[in-house]
Amino acid sequence: MGNLCNIPEIFGTDVFNDMTMQQRLPAQTYAAWKSCLQTGCSLPLDVANVIAEAMKEWAIEKGATHYTHWFQPMTGITAEKHDSFISPTGDGRVIMEFSGKELVRGEPDASSFPSGGLRATFEARGYTAWDPTAFAFVKDGSLYIPTCFFSYTGEALDKKTPLLRSLDEVSREALRILRLFGDDKTQRVQVSVGAEQEYFLIPKSLYAQREDLRLTGRTLFGAQPPKGQELDDHYFGTIRTRVSNFMKDLDEQLWRLGILAKTKHNEGAPCQHELAPIYSDASNACDANQLTMMIMKKCAAKHDLVCLLHEKPFAGISGSGKHNNWSLCTDSGKNLFKAGDTPRQNAQFLVFLAAFIKGIDEYQDFLRSTVAYAGNDHRLGANEAPPAILSIFLGDELTAVMESIINGTNYTDPEKSLVRIGVDVLPSIPKDTTDRNRTSPIAFTGNKFEFRMLGSSQSIAGPNIALNTIMAEELGKFADVLENAEDFDSALQKLICDTLTEHQRIIFNGNGYSLQWQAEAERRGLSNLRSTAKSLPTYISPKNIELVTKRGIFTEAEFRARYEIHMAAYSKITRIEAKTMVDMVLQQILPAGLKYSSDLSESVLRKQKLGLSADSDLDLVRRISKCCDKLYRKTEEMAAHLRDIPAGTEASADYYSDVIVPDMEDVRRSADLLERLTAKSYWPYPIYSDILYY
């Protein structure tokens, strides 16, 4: 560290990637692996054995002693269980072994992962299987093998399996459209994803003193400091040395793992930062984002910092999200959301654009519910960007194109006849990098859509599964119409015009934070699901179940299992937070307030004895006592409510949302007032200004 590293030299050195496989595998093994990737068939055991041997040799050279099947259970984070390569030889010694069987299949005793009722108790095991589309890598002395995780009966227990299914599905339907436009070369349409990751970094020593941060990842208490982010002096500001050392270290570790870490900067709130990678295919991007979050945490610890990935670590300043940049691209690298140079290409672009617009409008609730999460409730629909209402920002040029198609006018010259799709040329659509609308939940930025509702701690798999599935559905429906059309051009014209007309309500270029937009959105009939408890139940609406089962992304049981898990997680997280508050009030906050007021009272008595004025002390004691009483009462009320949770998934989530969350706000208000009234030397833990301006 500190020294300059040679990036091209270190990039991907800890990954058993294509190049390494080519170098280390016999030619026919390499070819067999490649053909499995192309055809999607499973790897013959003899091939797996050769790959496993080569992988083990390579990993041991990199210092690995263990291997692990790495998977993405429905908790939203990743899981690993490490086995060493050792195998006894019978004479008291060991050799290092790793077989093809161990590479392709694992049986972690995974009965404690949430399964949403998918696994019966008699078959509580889960199985892992190598995903040969993702490369193995070495980290912290272990060989990591990216795997899918499923039950004995074959149900997906993870986030990766449905993601892979959705990628196949959107590729299949996109190819049908491409064929209609005369493309008979493309074999695969890929989804490109670039996930920008926001996070906070705070000193470890301060973090350690706060039970709320340690147990819940966010501050449950804290009066507003005199300075917030109103001066905008942190955004893109100079990065302080300790943080920039962390970032250098992080970049290097990510590069070694083949992750394309590209951009880093300070974000809006004090102590807030962002890392953006260069986009890659969706499955890879999902793995990379999980690894990035994991390494951020580890790397921070090395620098005596703590990385907070929570969506809202501090009240009153910006929270953290994730921007999911999403586009479709052919295997020869053509971006399907880029307007072309010829009328034909433009027509094809409009088909993909119209399908996206229609899909988002029709499945608003589905997409919204994939980002429903306790932490994200502090952003979406609260006083922060983006709003809980889904809409698409298209920008001026494209909106003008859309309107002229709908109104049958010409976009360059209203005097001229209507736009004929496939004949007229679109105005050039610039890749929007400047005046983009930051308040929109989905912004078209020239050749991709930026979906901004994701919470910073969440896996990006869920929203990408939804985007892919929705897109597959709409492209499939379009293909059905166009393949059967007698006159392709007029069918195309009608399809695009009708679709844009019917779904234009989802387009909104204005200020998404404004109250007017909320009223306007309601008039347009757009949904506004402000909380997890309100939003998640729409996930399993009959329409969504039909979509995901018809498209083969989830079985109904798999889909419902996810719903159960997410709902339960919401209740559990809220419960932990509320209980932590009770703990902190009774054991730390109230004792501090009471001690201070008792010390003040004694001083009042002493002063009065001496005939001195004690007005200020007396006034403070009164105010503090009142505040303590109220805090105590509110806390006891919340504790009582916590003993009264109704049974049932929906009933308990609703109760947490409608009763406990408002209780928590009440308790916090009193505690924060007490913090202001109490001398700092009495306060039991670091306050906002200590942490944010360390």
- Residue 116: strand, helix, or coil: coil
Name the minimum Å distance from CB 277 to ligand ADP.
Answer: 5
Kindly state the helix (H) or strand (E) to which residue 604 belongs, with its residue range. helix 590-609
Residue 265 near residue 274, CB atoms below 8 Å: yes
Residues whose CB falls within 8 Å of the CB of residue 326, separated by 6 or more in sequence, listed in order: 191, 192, 193, 282, 448, 449, 450, 451, 464, 467
Nearest approach, Cβ of residue 71 and ligand ADP (Å): 25
DSSP string, 308-327: E--S-SSTTS---EEEEEEE
Q: Which stretch binds ligand ADP (CB under 6 A): 7-15, 186-194, 582-590, 637-645?
A: 186-194
278 touching ligand ADP, by CB under 6 A: yes
Alpha-carbon distance values, 137 to 65, 144, 199, 558, 656 (Å): 13, 5, 25, 29, 41
**Beta carbon nearer to ligand ADP, 130 or 279:** 279
User: What is the residue-wise DSSP string for 545-596?
Assistant: HHHHHHTTS--HHHHHHHHHHHHHHHHHHHHHHHHHHHHHIIIIIHHHHHHH
Enumerate residues 6+ apart whose C-beta is below 8 A from 383.
none
Question: Interacting stretch for ligand ADP, rule CB under 6 A, among 7-15, 210-218, 273-281, 504-512?
Answer: 273-281
Q: Which residue, 324 or 532, is less far from ligand ADP as judged by CB?
A: 324
Identified binder of ligand ADP from the candidate list 448, 562, 634, 668, rule CB under 6 A = 448
Q: Does 119 bind Mg ion (CB under 5 A)?
A: no
Residue 140 CA to residue 127 CA, distance in Å, equals 24
Measured from the CB atom, is 132 or 446 closer to ligand ADP? Answer: 446
Of 315-323, 500-508, 541-549, 664-672: span binding Mg ion (CB under 5 A): 315-323
Instruction: Give the rounded distance of the alpha carbon of 31 from its chain centre.
Output: 36
- Footprint of ligand ADP on 323-342 (CB under 6 A): 325-327, 335
Nearer to Mg ion (CB atom), residue 303 or residue 323:
323
Q: Six-digit token pair at 546?
A: 């039909």
Q: At what angle do helices 488-503 and 396-407 cross, to 10 degrees?
A: 110
Q: Environment class of residue 362 by beta-carbon count within 10 Å: exposed (0-12), middle (13-18) or buried (19+)? A: middle
Q: Taking CB under 5 A as the rule, does residue 379 contact Mg ion? A: no
Q: Which residue lies nearer to ligand ADP by CB, 273 or 448?
A: 448
Other residues' Cβ atoms within 10 Å of the Cβ of residue 311: 27
Figure out which of the listed residues 119, 210, 312, 323 binds Mg ion, where binding follows CB under 5 A: 323
Nearest-angstrom CA–CA distance, 386 and 321: 9
* The binder of ligand ADP chosen from 166, 190, 192, 391 (CB under 6 A): 192
Specify the stretch interacting with ligand ADP by CB under 6 A; choose among 17-25, 230-238, 322-330, 599-607. 322-330
Residue of 313, 319, 310 lying closest to 383 (CA atoms): 319
Minimum Å distance from CB 440 to ligand ADP? 12
User: Please, what is the minimum distance in Å from the beta carbon of residue 457 to Mg ion?
Assistant: 18
How many angstroms separate the CA atoms of 308 and 310, rounded?
Answer: 6
Question: How far apart, in whole angstroms, are the C-alpha atoms of residue 173 and residue 404?
Answer: 28
Residue of the chain from 277, 375, 386, 463 that contacts ligand ADP (CB under 6 A): 277
Give whichever of 198 and 617 is closer to ligand ADP, judged by the CB atom: 198
- Name which of 269 and 497 has its Cβ closer to ligand ADP: 269
Alpha carbon distance 169, 469 (integer Å): 7
Non-local (6+) Cβ contacts of 159 within 8 A are 72, 73, 74, 76, 286, 459, 461, 462, 465
674 binds, among Mg ion, ligand ADP, none (CB under 5 to 8 A by kind): none
Q: Is 445 in the site for ligand ADP (CB under 6 A)?
A: yes
- Residue nearer to ligand ADP on the CB measure, 259 or 536: 259
Question: What is the maximum span of the chain, computed from C-alpha positions, in angstroms?
Answer: 103
Nearer to ligand ADP, 326 or 356 (CB): 326
# residues contacting Mg ion (CB under 5 A): 1
Among 85, 60, 62, 80, which residue's Cα sits nearest to residue 70?
A: 80
Residue range at the interface with ligand ADP (CB under 6 A); choices 164-172, 189-197, 227-235, 364-372: 189-197
Q: What phi, psi does 278 have (nearest 5°)? A: -75, 140
DSSP state of 140: T
Residue 420: count other Cβ atoms within 10 Å of its Cβ: 15
Can you say how many angstroms the Cα of residue 512 is from the centroid of all Cα atoms in its chain? 21
Closest approach, Cβ 279 to ligand ADP, in A, equals 3
251: contact with ligand ADP by CB under 6 A: no
Question: Quick one: which segment of 181-189, 351-359, 411-419, 445-453 binds ligand ADP (CB under 6 A)?
Answer: 445-453
| Nearer residue to ligand ADP within complex by CB, 264 or 595 | 264
What x-and-dash track marks residues 279-318 binding ligand ADP by CB under 6 A?
x---------------------------------------
Q: Near Mg ion by CB under 5 A, which window of 167-175, 323-331, 483-491, 580-588?
A: 323-331
Q: Report CA-CA distances (Å) from 445 to 358, 440, 441, 449, 533.
A: 18, 11, 12, 6, 32
Q: Using the CB atoms, write b or e for 191-216: b if 16+ within 10 Å.
A: bbbbbbbbbbbbbeebbeebbbbeeb
For ligand ADP, the closer of residues 346 and 445 by Cβ is 445
Q: Which of residues 229 and 335 has its CB atom nearest to ligand ADP in the complex? A: 335
Stretch in the footprint of ligand ADP (CB under 6 A) among 28-36, 208-216, 319-327, 396-404: 319-327
C-alpha to C-alpha distance for 534 and 522, rounded to whole angstroms: 16
Task: Pick what 278 binds: Mg ion, ligand ADP, none; C-beta below 5 to 8 Å, kind-dependent.
Answer: ligand ADP
How far out from the chain centre does Cα 226 lie?
A: 32
346 binds ligand ADP (CB under 6 A): no
Q: Is residue 196 a contact point for ligand ADP (CB under 6 A)?
A: yes
Of 454 and 548, nearer to Mg ion (C-beta) is: 454
Residue nearest to ligand ADP (CB): 194
Q: Is there a contact between 411 and 500 (Cβ–Cβ < 8 Å)?
A: no
Contact pick of 12, 100, 194, 455 for ligand ADP (by CB under 6 A) = 194
Q: Using CB atoms, what's the residue nearest to Mg ion?
A: 323
Give Cβ neighbours of residue 95 (< 8 Å, ≥ 6 apart). Answer: 86, 87, 89
CB of 32 or CB of 442, closer to Mg ion: 442
Task: Measure the CA–CA gap between 583 and 576, rounded to whole angstroms.
Answer: 10
Q: Which is nearer to Mg ion, 323 or 503 (CB)?
A: 323
Site size toward ligand ADP, by CB under 6 A: 15
- Determine if 447 is a binding residue for ligand ADP (CB under 6 A): yes
Instruction: Kindly indicate which of the ranges 168-176, 274-282, 422-430, 477-485 contains the residues binding ligand ADP, using the contact rule CB under 6 A.
Output: 274-282
78 contacts which partner out of ligand ADP, Mg ion, none, CB within 5 to 8 A by kind? none
Query: Rounded to the nearest whole angstrom, what is the least distance from the CB of residue 445 to Mg ion in the complex?
Result: 7
Distance CA 471, CA 167 (A): 10
Task: Please count the residues of the chain.
Answer: 694
Query: Shortest Cβ distance from residue 272 to ligand ADP (Å)?
Result: 15
Task: Select from 276, 347, 470, 540 the one that contacts ligand ADP (CB under 6 A).
Answer: 276
- Kindly list the residues in this chain that would bind Mg ion in the complex (CB under 5 A): 323
- Kindly list the residues in this chain that would bind ligand ADP in the complex (CB under 6 A): 192-194, 196, 276-279, 325-327, 335, 445, 447-448
